[in-house]
Amino acid sequence: MPWKDGYTTSDEKSLADQEVRWPEGKQCACVIVIDLSVASGPAGITPADLTTAASQFGTQVGVRSLLEMLQRFDMTATFAVPAVIAELYPATVRAILEHGHEVAAHGFKHEDVSQLDKDQERERLEAATASLTRITGQRPAGWYSLPRQRDPFAVGTISPHTIDLLLDAGYEYMGNGLADDMPYYWVTDVQTPRALLTLPYYYHFDDQFFLMFPPPGLGSGLENPKPFLTNCLLEFDAQYKRGRYFSMVLHPHIIGFGHRIRILEALFSHLQDFPGIWNPTAVQCAHYWQAHYPARTTLHLEPSIWQDYPGSLS
């Protein structure tokens, strides 16, 4: 086995807290991600998924509530937008851009690509990039593959080729990785090294797993606004103290409703009390990181001491 393939995707050790510097001496980066997909399954968004009240609420009402809330607290966000959503709701995409937020790619229709072969996946990736480029007027810099409520694991579904394909297509960052709580490099070839900057995601800071979850059909969902808020507050406090990075993922059709939007209000109000928060879009953060912590000097790929043995997993 070359290197530690199949086990690790990055180097052996993350940056220590004291090695992390943000622009203008800011204390902590805070990246808000809004998933503009609607509730769907592994096939991605279907006509049935778009003809639900929840979808209507999310794309019309919820997204406006979130835009207003961001504006009220003067915060920027990155919207992870499936290409089909941009095609169907171009006015929403324009409103997002007019507010100064980023539009990043989120699959052609937020489908699970893990079962596709490499050519099929490339075709979908290129189609998604072309749609978003045409609708937003610029190439998306980032790509997301966020989880859905019904996925067996709350981490997002990619294939073994996804990161390579994103590098081929010129993407500058992958929006959701789990191997760090800071920007880090996802290595696809240890020799070159070939690596894609990856921003962290963790489902404990994702509204869809706390509010009426599990979804109908999988269970009778429980409404858990407080654990969601507590997780976000405690993570922010701890990461602020360490001088690292905080990120959360929000869904307009989930957190955009009534009492739930108040979770967001409470969290954004809490952030106001802390000086030195840097609230970039994901792409701004990615550009800063690549300029100041390039893979060439930041990645420390130790030679592998792994050996294969009969009777052991390779």
Contact 236/270 with Cβ under 8 angstroms? yes
Which of 4, 64 has the CB closer to another protein?
4
Rounded-to-integer distance, Cα 146 and Cα 144, Å: 6
Binding site for another protein (CB under 8 A): 4, 6-14, 16, 114, 149-158, 160, 176-181, 184, 202-204, 209-210, 213-215, 218-219, 222, 224, 226-228, 230-231, 234-235, 237-239, 241-242, 244, 302, 304-307, 309, 311-313
Which of 70, 187 has the CB closer to another protein?
187
Q: How far is the CB of 71 from another protein (least distance, A)?
A: 28
Contact 34/62 with Cβ under 8 angstroms? no
Q: How far is the CB of 4 from another protein (least distance, A)?
A: 6
Q: How far is the CB of 105 from another protein (least distance, A)?
A: 17
C-alpha distances out from residue 266 to 73, 228, 260, Å: 11, 12, 10
C-alpha distances out from residue 172 to 103, 186, 283, Å: 13, 12, 8
Which string of DSSP letters, residue by residue, matches 190-216?
Answer: TTTTEEEEEEE--GGGBGGGTEEESPT
Q: How far is the CB of 167 from another protein (least distance, A)?
A: 16
Which of 17, 265 has the CB closer to another protein?
17
**Helix, strand, or coil here: 143?**
strand
What are 220's two structure tokens? 């009778």
Q: How far is the CB of 306 from another protein (least distance, A)?
A: 5
Which of 60, 224 has the CB closer to another protein?
224
Between 118-136 and 90-98, two packed helices, what is the crossing angle to 10 degrees?
60
Which of 18, 51 has the CB closer to another protein?
18
Q: How far is the CB of 107 from another protein (least distance, A)?
A: 14
**What's the angle, vertex CA 159, arms to CA 153 and CA 162, rounded to 5?**
120
Q: If we measure between CA atoms, which residue out of 129, 168, 134, 148 comes closest to residue 41? A: 148
Which of 258, 311 has the CB closer to another protein?
311
Strand partners, 79: 34, 103
Q: How far is the CB of 266 from another protein (least distance, A)?
A: 14
Which of 217, 258 has the CB closer to another protein?
217
